[in-house]
Amino acid sequence: MTHGEVLSKVDAGVLTLTLNRPDALNAATDPLLEQLLQGLRGAEHEAKVRVIVITGAGRAFCAGQDLQAVQGRQISFKAHLEKTYNQVISRIRSLEKPVLAAVNGVAAGAGFSLALACDLRIASSEASFVPAFSKIGLVPDSGMSYHLPRLVGYQKAFELLVTSPRLSAEEALALGLVERVVGAGEFQAAVQALAGQLAAGPTKAFGLTKRALQRNATATLAEALAYEAMLQEIAGRTEDYKEGTRAFREKRAPDFKGR
Ligand code: T3D
C-alpha cells in the first residue's frame, strides 16, 4: 500500500515505511506524519508484520519539521506536537514489535528524534545526525530530551543540543547513538538481513522485552523482578516458547511463528 508521503511495503514479515519527500530531505509535513502514524497503527495488529523498518527515500532519512510548511501555520506549537510528532513517537515506543530505524542519510531535528525513538538504529556510512533545534531557536522535541541523555548522558546531550554539530555515522556509533554502521553499498542488504533476522524471531517475546525495558527503566529491583515474572508468565504460554524448547531438545533451529 502506498500513501504518497510515506511508502509502505510488507515483505516476509517486514513492514518498510519509507518517508518519501526526497526533494525536501523527507522533511515532515502533517500528511507525512499522519501517514507514518497510520502505518504504525496498522502494524500493531497485523500478524503478517513482525518488524517495522523506518527509512527515507533519496539521500536523507528525515530533516525534521518541514520549515516551509510552518509559514503562516495557525495551530500552536504545543497543539501541533501533541497532534502529530508525540503520537508517532508514543506509538513507536508502545508498539509491541521491533522498530528499526534504517538511517540512510541525514537525520535532523525531529528526524533525529524519530531515529532515537526506534528500538534499533542501523546507519549507512553516508548518514549524519544534526540536533538542529537550537539552530532555529527551538528546544528539543519528539522525545529528543528523553532519549538522547539516556544514550549519551546529560552533559554530552546538553553539549550536542546547544552546539548542534553534524555528527558523522562513525561519530554517532562512537557515542552509542546507532548500533551499527554499514558501508553505503552494503546498507540495503544489511538492513534486510537484520530486519529478516528480527522477523524470524519470537515476536511476542520481543514485544514483551520492549515493555520490560521501558517499564523497568524507572523501577526498583523489586518492581522489576515482579514485572519480569509477570511477563514471563505470558511469554511462557506462547507457541514460540513451545517451539523454542522443542527445537532445543531436537537440536535444530527454531521455526518461530510470532504467536
Ligand atoms: O511543531 C513544530 O513545528 C515544532 C517541531 C519541530 C521539529 C523540528 O524538527 S525543528 C528542526 C527542523 N529541521 C531543521 O532545522 C533542519 C534544517 N535543515 C538543515 O539544517 C539542513 O538542510 C540539513 C543539515 C538537514 C542537510 O543539509 P544539506 O547541506 O545536506 O542539505 P541542504 O542543501 O541544506 O537541503 C537540501 C534541500 O532540502 C534544500 O532545498 P532546495 O534549496 O534544494 O530547494 C533545503 O531547503 C531542503 N530542506 C532541508 N531541510 C528542510 C528542507 N526543507 C524544508 N524543511 C526542512 N527541515
Do 28 and 13 contact (CB within 8 A), yes or no?
no
pLDDT score of 177:
98
Read off the pLDDT of residues 232-256 as tens digits, 9 standing for 90 and up.
Answer: 999 999 999 999 999 999 999 999 9
In this predicted structure, the answer to whether residue 3 has a pLDDT above a threshold of 60 is no
* 216-231 average pLDDT score: 98
In this predicted structure, the answer to whether residue 220 has a pLDDT above a threshold of 80 is yes
Cell numbers at 180, concatenated: 551499527
The CB of 81 under 6 Å from ligand 1? The reply is: yes
pLDDT band of 97, cuts 50, 70, 90: very high
Query: What is each CA distance from 176 to 52, 99, 117, 153, 186, in whole angstroms?
Result: 21, 17, 14, 11, 21
CA 234 vs. chain centroid, Å, equals 25
Secondary structure of 80-104 as H, E, C letters: HHHHCHHHHHHHHHHCCCCEEEEEC
* 43-64 average pLDDT score: 97
Distance (Å) from CA 206 to ligand 1 centroid:
35
* Residue 26 to residue 65: CA distance in whole angstroms: 9
Secondary structure of 95-129 as H, E, C letters: CCCCEEEEECCEEECHHHHHHHHCCEEEEECCCEE
Distance (Å) from CA 25 to ligand 1 centroid:
7
* Residue 213 to residue 219: CA distance in whole angstroms: 10
The CB of 141 under 6 Å from ligand 1? The reply is: yes
Atom of ligand 1 nearest to the CA of 135: 15
* 178-206 average pLDDT score: 98
Read off the pLDDT of residues 105-142 as tens digits, 9 standing for 90 and up.
Answer: 999 999 999 999 999 999 999 999 999 999 999 999 99
In this predicted structure, the answer to whether residue 181 has a pLDDT above a threshold of 60 is yes
pLDDT score of 196:
98
Nearest-CA residue for atom 42 of ligand 1: 24
**Closest residue by Cα to residue 108 from 127, 125, 87:** 127
* 1-5 average pLDDT score: 69
In this predicted structure, the answer to whether residue 1 has a pLDDT above a threshold of 80 is no
Distance (Å) from CA 123 to ligand 1 centroid:
19
Give the predicted TM-score (pTM) of the model.
0.97
pLDDT score of 233:
98
